[in-house]
Chains A and B, each alone.
Chain A
Amino acid sequence: MNILVCVKQVPDTTQIKIDPVKHTLIREGVPAILNPFDGYALEAAARIKDKDPGTKIVVVTMGPPQATAVLKECVGIAADKGYLVSGRTFGGSDTLATSYILSHAIKKIEETEGKFDAIFCGKQAIDGDTAQVGPEIAEWLDLPQVTYGLEIEATEDGFKVQKEAEDGMQVIGIKSPCLITFTKPSFDPRYPTIKRKLMANKAKFETLGDDFDPTMDAANYGLNGSPTHVKKSFTPPVKSGGMKIKEETGEESAKKLAKILVDNNIV
């Protein structure tokens, strides 16, 4: 089995603070981490490898040169190899443009690593929160997709994926090759071992730079190749404290609540 995991280095958004005067994000001192959802995707691949030790796990990330730190982290956890996609012309890409570049990078990596049976992604990155790049890669590569994956098992010709739905859980059978995105499962991903960490420190990662694929159309990536543009950004207003309903009796409170819900078309 040959699995590619797409990962992203993100700022730890739980540690981001807002400048109270300028109302902007304070990015200084915020640690850069492996996107947690990508960690779940890697764990899913690692569990397949636990059962089938012949499995090869390759990771790819797109970002500035310092993003190799997450490739190293992935090798420390379970990955066999990693690739960095990094070019000045790639900057400013929105999700469609990013997925265009990554889909070409994946084809390029397959020239060396062989065809991938599956591409795993995190459901979304915790900085952009879009959950779009995975399905968009699947579209460029014409692969079937399952999103919101929790657990996965290899089957004869593909995978069985347990996925999160609004009304519970679904189990979907999907044929290989395919793309699956993962959300937070009920278990914690494994930590790197000392042995693997030492290995990761020596690992070298190939970079796919601006010109890695001359067939790519520059009109499809970068700031100018992106259909969406950020017009403005601002910090959200502080949430108000909600509404307190406390009538004489419980019944009266319930009636008042019901009236408010009905009046506001909520039920």
Chain B
Amino acid sequence: MTNKKVFNWLDERLGLTAIYKTIFERKIPKVNWWFTLGSATLFLFALQVVTGIMLSVYYVPSPDKAYDSIEFIMSGVAFGWLIRGIHHWGATLMVITVFIHMLRVFFYGAYKYPREITWVTGVFLLLATLGMGFTGYLLPWNQKAYWATTVGTSIAGTVPGIGDFILRALRGGDDLSGVTLARFFAAHIWIFPLLIIILIGVHLYLVIRIGISAVPGKND
């Protein structure tokens, strides 16, 4: 009885029932398993956030300490290897699910009226995910990371006209250094995640407002 009273009091002010009805009780067309890829990506992103926060407790973004701090995570921290393993493989898997999710949407023509904006936010989410991959790759500060980023940033440097500016902006100087590591770290844990969270918000709002597309029939 009191539980119900408390709930009613809260519901009156927060609109909990309305939220529940909008999100959970909504009806959607009969769809197949390919339609789980979006939520799978969302799950992977949440997992990346959680494991990423855990890793940031021990990770030190400096050229002197980054490599050692990851070595410590792998061998000195309880279940550090598991957290890093999940983060590492989760990144790979997230790129795959994002990509297949996009192909699914394309195949069913789900980007057409009235879901054009959902598609556009999705493309930005794809780009932000690739940005996460690119910036995260440098953080272990090992040979693979260092040289991949050297090549990656120098490719950006070949853009006609503003290439040199982009190159210096990415690296924070002419060469890869601690400055590069610091700004990649900032991009990886602040800028891109924030962008992704905002974009996911819009994406999901649109999915719930418009409803997910149905599997097209022969006459569609």
A and B from one complex: no
